[in-house]
Amino acid sequence: MTEPLRLGIAGLGTVGAGVVKIVRQKAALLAERSGRPVTISAVTARNRDKDRGVPLTDYAWEDDAVTLATRDDVDVFVELMGGSDGPAKAATEAALAAGKDVVTANKAMLAHHGQALAQLAEDNGAVLRFEAAVAGGIPVIKALTEGLAGNDITRVMGVMNGTCNYILTRMESGGLSYQQAFEEADKLGYLEADPELDVGGIDAGHKLSLLAAIAYGTQVAFDAVELEGIGKVSIDDIRQAADMGYKIKLLGVCRMTGRGLEQRMAPCLVPATSPLGQLDGGTNMVVIEGDQVGQIVMRGAGAGEGPTASAVMGDVLDIARGTRLSTFGQPASSLKPVTAARVATPAPYYLRMALVDKPGALAKVATALGDAGISINRMRQYDHASDAAPVLIVTHKTTRSALDVALGAMAGTGVVAGDPVALRIERV
C-alpha cells in the first residue's frame, strides 16, 4: 500500500508536539518501516498562537476536535488532549462512529469508558490503540496483547507513576520529609494540576485497570481498584524499611483468583535487591508473570515528550502496516464483567505505630494481633523523648482482612496514639 496514512492530531502539548516532530523529522524512516508515508492533515489545540517549538503551518487548523476527528482527509485520529470526558471523549466517539482508527494516550478516558469505546470501535470496523496511556515508552500493551498472548498471566505488577517514585526516592536519598519531597517535585513540574491524581494513586490505578483488562480478558473496572496513596509514608518508614533490606514503592498489583479479580495500588515494601527495589527517580517498571514465560521485567521512561510520543507512533505504524487488533486483546463482546475481590493473598506486613508510654501497652498490641491470628516476626521499639513510643512490627504472612480486625482491636485499647501505618511486604 503506497497511499499515505493521514493523521489528525488533537492536543499539542508536550506529547502532541513530540508526535509532530517525529512525523516531520523521521518521515523517511516511518515510510520504510510501515511501507507507506505517514503525514499530518490537520491539528487542533486550545491555543492556536502558542509557540510549540515545531512548525504547524503545513497543516489545517480546526478549532473543534469533533470536526477534526471526522474530516475526510483524516484516517487516524490521534487524541492527546486528556480528560476522562468532555472534548476528548466526544471526539474519540465521533471518530470511531465514522469508522476512523484512533490512537490515544488518555488513560483516564479508557479507565472510565474503555468497554463502551472498544465496542464502538469494533461495531464500526475501527481500531482503538493506547500504548502511550500506560508506562510511557515501555511497550507493555504490545507485550500483553501480542508477545505474551500464549500465556495465562498469573500476576502483573509495577511502578507506574514516576512522580510518586521520584518523591519516595528523594525522601530516601535526601533524608527529606514527605512534604519536602512533594514540594520539590511540584517545583520541578512533575505533579499533575490536581496532585491527588499522582500521590493518591489515581493515575497509576487507571493504568493498572487497563493492564488487568488485557491480562485477564475482563471489562475495565477502575472502580474496583483498591487505592491508597503515599501521603502517610514518612521518612521514618523509609529508613526503617531500609534497615530491614526493603524499599517502599507505590506498587500496582493485579491477579485473578478463585474469588475474582484482585487489583490494588498502594505503597508496599519490596526487597531492596529486586529490580523494583533498585528503581530510582521518575522511571517506571512493569513486571509480568506468565505460566509459560515466567517473569518478564520491563523498565523505562514513564512520561515525557520523547518516550510518550514514541509509544503513540508505535501504534500509528502498526495501523499503517495493516495490523488490526481488538482494543483489549480480544473482542469487546467477549470481555467478562469483573467480579471484584479484595486482596486476600497472605503476605507479611510492616506496622508502625506510636504507643502510649505506660506499662502493658505493648502486650495489648500483641494480644490484638494474636487474637486475629497474626504472629509477630520481629519487633523494634525506638528511643523517644515524647509521651508516645515509636514501635515497629513485622508480621508473618497474614491477610489484610485479619490485619484490619487487629487494627480495629488496637484502636479500642487506648494505648495506640494516632493511626498506625500498615504496608504490605510484596514478594517480587
pLDDT tens column, 33-89: 999 999 999 999 999 989 899 999 999 999 999 999 999 999 999 999 999 999 999
Which listed residue (89, 207, 249, 364) is catalytic?
Answer: 207
If one compares 191 and 264, the residue with the highest pLDDT of the two is 264
Percent of the chain exceeding pLDDT 70 equals 99
In 3D, which of 41, 12, 263 has the Cα closest to residue 155? Answer: 263
Domains 5-137+326-330 and 349-425 share a fold: no
Between strands 76-79 and 5-10, the pairing is parallel
In 3D, which of 308, 156, 167, 157 has the Cα closest to residue 229? Answer: 167
Query: What is the pLDDT at residue 428?
Result: 86
DSSP H helices, 190-304, are 196-199, 202-216, 235-243
pLDDT tens column, 288-339: 999 999 999 999 988 889 999 999 999 999 999 999 999 999 999 999 999 9
Burial 287-304 (b: 16+ CB within 10 A, else e): bbbbeeeeebebbbbbbb
CA 76 remoteness from chain centre? 25
Q: E strands, 28-86, where?
A: 38-44, 60-61, 76-79
Query: What is the pLDDT at residue 380?
Result: 85
Q: Which of 173-187, 225-239, 355-369 is predicted least confidently?
A: 355-369
**3-state SS assignment for residue 194:** coil
The residues that bridge with 422 in the sheet, in sequence order, are 351
* pLDDT band per the 50, 70, 90 thresholds, residue 7: very high
pTM over 0.75: yes
Tell me the domain boundaries of the chain: 5-137+326-330, 140-300, 349-425
Q: Which CATH class is domain 349-425?
A: alpha beta
Q: Is 207 among the catalytic positions?
A: yes
pLDDT tens column, 404-413: 999 999 998 8
**3-state SS assignment for residue 388:** strand
How many C-beta atoms lie closer than 10 Å to residue 390's C-beta?
17
CA distance 336 to 213: 9
> What CATH superfamily is the domain 5-137+326-330?
NAD(P)-binding Rossmann-like Domain (3.40.50.720)
| Residues contacting residue 194 through CB under 8 Å, at least 6 positions apart | none
pLDDT tens column, 101-121: 999 999 999 999 999 999 999
Q: Give the amino acid at 182.
A: F
Q: Quick one: residue 164, left, alpha or beta (phi over 0 = left, psi -120 to 50 = alpha)? A: alpha
Q: Which CATH class is domain 140-300?
A: alpha beta
| Residues contacting residue 393 through CB under 8 Å, at least 6 positions apart | 350, 351, 352, 353, 365, 369, 376, 378, 379
In 3D, which of 11, 38, 123 has the Cα closest to residue 318? Answer: 38
* pLDDT band per the 50, 70, 90 thresholds, residue 384: low
Residue 385 has pLDDT above 70, yes or no: no
Residue 386 has pLDDT above 80, yes or no: no
Q: What rounded mean pLDDT belongs to the chain?
A: 94
